[in-house]
Structure 1
Amino acid sequence: MKSINHTAASEFLLLGLSDDQGQQAVIFNLFLAMYLVTIVGNLLIILAVSSDSHLHTPMYFFLSNLSFNDICMSTTIIPKVLVSIQAQDQSITYTGCLSQVGFVIVFGFMENCLLAVMAYDRYLAICSPLRYTIIMNPRLCGLLALSSLFLSVVDALLHSLMLSQLSFCRDLRIPHFFCELTQIVKLACSDTVILYTLMYITACVFGGVPISGIIFSYVHIMSSVMRMPSLEGKYKAFSTCGSHLSVVSLFYGTGFGVYIGSTATASPRKTAVASVMYSVVPQMMNPFVYSLRNRDMKEALRRLISRTSFLL
């Protein structure tokens, strides 16, 4: 197959979730509803944390960072889907596609890092309560958040630079609703061995380390909780990390589910539909998990809504 240089690839075509024009209105409304719920829910979390002095703790600092990251992740993906459906234009520029790949990697890996940092925070709070306030000081919290962002950007730059060196074939149709890294690599006509090697290495390092940190933290948390003499103490300890554990299960559960499902099916379109579960749904559900399972957060949201209603 004749290939063209990557500089001549002016645009790609995002095929979306369905070719049926009758389903486009349903898909548009579904994505719009999920986007609005994601934005409003995560903004409420950020406003509640920032406006309530009782929530000015490391756990809620990282939660507000997670909410902001979820807003950015959804904004990277969903508005382009909505515009494409509304304008009936599936094209996306070469620069826009590579930029979307980069931002998805940044915010996707940032979510990994923040979940790991939050697990470490719960580990210290339960296993070393006397040293918790000394260790998790504002300086360390800021450093952990900035380090997560820095590593995420480095990871995205590595992939984006390698991706920009590829030459693409004439068929530039992407069977997905956003520019996903593996789908772009499949369109390349040039050698992708180095890029695939980089992808596997970074997945093991940048993905494996946060997952290992989460597992390490919860193994020690479980061990510490089991040694507590009273049932009340055990319940209180579990309740402080229940919301985080639910978010971790949702994020990694949907991701691994889509990965396993994609290896079992040969249909790229079915894989794209399943990808909604890890690229959109966790960001929408996180505010519900933390607001419904967390008494302090429910109280802060109630006070925030009461103040807002009073001002109106």
Structure 2
Amino acid sequence: MAILSIRFGKFIQVNYKENGMVHGAVVQKYLLEKSRICSQGRYERNYHVFYYLLAGANEQEKQQLHLKSPDQYYYLNKSCSALDNVDESYEFSRLKQSMEMVGFTAEKQRRLFSVLSAVLLLGNVEFQPRKSAYHHDEAVGVKNPEVVSLISELLRVKQETLMQALTAKRARASGETLVINYRLPEAIASRDAMAKCLYGALFDWIVLQVNHALLSKKDTLREHQGNSIGVLDIFGFEDFGLNNSFEQLCINYANEHLQYYFNQHVFKYEQEEYRKEGIRWTNIDFMDNTGCLQLIEGKPNGLCFLLDDQCK
């Protein structure tokens, strides 16, 4: 499915019977790159599903979901909104067909696309400073409440509740609830955090729905104790030719740690147990990425150690 972009890691466990017949599967996801929702690098796009939705939705869907053209959304990169030789309207139809195949009803699809539209509209919410009636510091108000009204309709939440969440936070102190107004930078950060949280929750829900479709009924009843094959799909530092940001460096570094964890537990520790028990076994070689991690975190010459030393 196109909404499941390559900007996350996944582990797929495929269950099968002794005769080789596939008997269900389970998908686990890791490290979804939510920062891409709010900002992208130069010549870099947001997640493809947003562009597919805007290009492929029919007139009725555009009205129901309050869709605009890509250049009218703050969260979509204006310098890279279209891809050459890609029919995004066709890709949207393929996306809907894929969802139907794994059990997404028309109503579920509508709710899914409503959340995506709400995420895009959140980026268009603008704030303006205003004097608070209860505090001496500067508070903020929403400059375009009509956009908040559309978002509340799409998410089926009260507009007043959403407005409060965008302009203030609540804190508990001495058994009382305090309302603390955001300043302008805090309001913008809170708005972006809300968009990322919405997209992350939607992503988790999609994975859950896909797993329900892939999982065998016998597995749900715990009657099947068969075999399985695991496939880990993450991207670390395999391609050094890319010119990426510091944020991407951190993502790749985290992925390398995941790869290291799986290497240790799936290959190294497991095969050591086989040798200890004297099991006849053909040893499986694997790419040990310890050197890559030591280059970044090792002492005393690792990148992080040197940076930390210079900062001190």
Measured against the shorter chain, the TM-score band is under 0.3
Which has the larger strand fraction?
Answer: 2
Which has the larger helix fraction?
Answer: 1
Larger gyration radius, structure 1 or structure 2:
2
TM-score by length of 1: 0.25
